[in-house]
Structure 1
């Protein structure tokens, strides 16, 4: 049988976990849940001193972006969320920063999509 892929976005890992359990009941071949972001890396662990200029960029201070050069830092700092003027929060404008990726059999594809939508996911 053929396999189908599904990408769905959730507001919380708990919502995605609930959908994943139902997908496993449908005999999903593979299910993965990850937190996504438009910013690279897992965030910076080192704190710089803004008063001395010892920091990479505004994006690394306010967003925890892990940038390695000046150009990416400048580009990321130009976004409204770096300044705190965005209403999107961590998940961006939709608030959906949890990605569920699933591989299911073609025969249950429509049913799997329905399960995801009922669990609060956005396809």
Structure 2
């Protein structure tokens, strides 16, 4: 038989881990759980509004923030102090469970993911 993949989004790591345990008990071929953010995870929590600083150059010069994700984060409208930001980032379902299962158990695996709160 062939293989099928599953990509499911969860609200919390605990929900995803519960589904992963059940999928592993079902003998899934591969299961992984990752969190994603609007930009790079490495810079999360480091930004204040530019209204509290002297501007983007000061924010980036001589800092770890000079990476491409740092530039993107600093240039975001939500950091300007002049905007509420608009679009927002990933909220709610920011945990990604990726699984590869045998074709024969695919429907059962999908049910497990849905019952655990996963969104596909």
TM-score, normalised to structure 2's length? 0.71
Output the aligned Cα RMSD: 3.6
* Cα deviation, residue 73, structure 1: 2.7
Aligned length: 111
Equivalent position of 2:39 in the other structure: 39
Match of 1:42, SS?
helix
Name which one, 1 or 2, has greater alpha-carbon Rg: 2
Kept after mapping to 2: 8 A contact 1:67/1:73 = no
Give the whole-Å Cα distance in 1 for the aligned partners of 2:12 and 2:86.
18
Correspondence 1:101-112 to 2 at 5 A: 101-112=98-109
Structure number with the bigger relative contact order (C-alpha 8 A, sep ≥ 6) is: 2
Match of 2:59, SS?
coil
**Residue by residue, what CA displacement relative to the aligned partner does 1:61-92 show, whole Å, maximum 9, x if unpaired?**
xxxxx5635xx5389513x6986846987642
Give the whole-Å Cα distance in 2 for the aligned partners of 1:87 and 1:51.
21
* Cα deviation, residue 119, structure 1: 0.2
- Label 1:51 to 1:76 Cα distance change in 2 as closer, same or farther (>3 A): closer
TM-score, normalised to structure 1's length? 0.70
